[in-house]
Amino acid sequence: MATSVVLVHGAWGGAWIWRPVLPALRAAGHEVHAVTLTGDGERAHLRHAGITLQTHIRDVVGLVEAEELQDIALVGHSYGGQVITGAADALAGRVKQLVYVDAMVPLPGEGWGINHAPEVVAARQAAARANDNALPPPDPADFGLSGAERDWLLRRQVPHPFGPYREPMPFDFDRWRALPRAFIDCNSPAYPTIAGSRQRVREQGDWTLVELPTGHCPMASMPARFSAVLLELLRAG
């Protein structure tokens, strides 16, 4: 059964990062939309110090409303896990499935970075202060990428708005937990800042969990296998 799929990138990304998986998803009959969050990707010229998590949630809600989507699968990568959680809350009744791709999995009231080690928080805050409240992108080698895939991200990554980093996000936990949820754990190498989410998913115990032997950006490092996993999750959802 075809689904409306909304893909939400992580920090430093844009809709462009999903390009390797779009053909397979669309060939399977799904209506697929990739969002670029305000201040990222081709919308980097809109970056300003006042961007918040709610700005990014509204980006997703705005696309859903403009396209009049129903029966939606929200797919969030990395920081995009925060965004799809908030968007699902705002779009109650229209979302049928959530897929977290090596992504942040918050509890109500938590912000992006809540489970990061103190030294990571301090380093990111300092970097953002020095860069007009935007977080400079890391070397994609940190995601386990090399060669052409690393070069692709190096060319396209942009500083990510930092306002959402510690911003609390309330949402209806019971309604969120009633949705089918899947977590794709990319664990070779495992990106350290996702460690808290990996543990939380296993502790909650009511997730569909898929492990992929690749790094933090499977759409770049393992697009065929990653596409197959997404399609299987969409069929099951």
Residues annotated as catalytic are: 78
Question: Three-state SS string across the chain, please?
Answer: CCCEEEEECCCCCCHHHHHHHHHHHHHCCCEEEEECCCCCHHHHHHCCCCCCHHHHHHHHHHHHHHHCCCCEEEEEECCHHHHHHHHHHHCCCCEEEEEEECCCCCCCCECCCCCCCHHHHHHHHHHHHCCCCEECCCCHHHHCCCHHHHHHHHHHCCCEECCCCCCCECCCHHHHHCCCEEEEEEECCECHHHHHHHHHHHHHCCCEEEEECCCCCHHHHCHHHHHHHHHHHHHHC
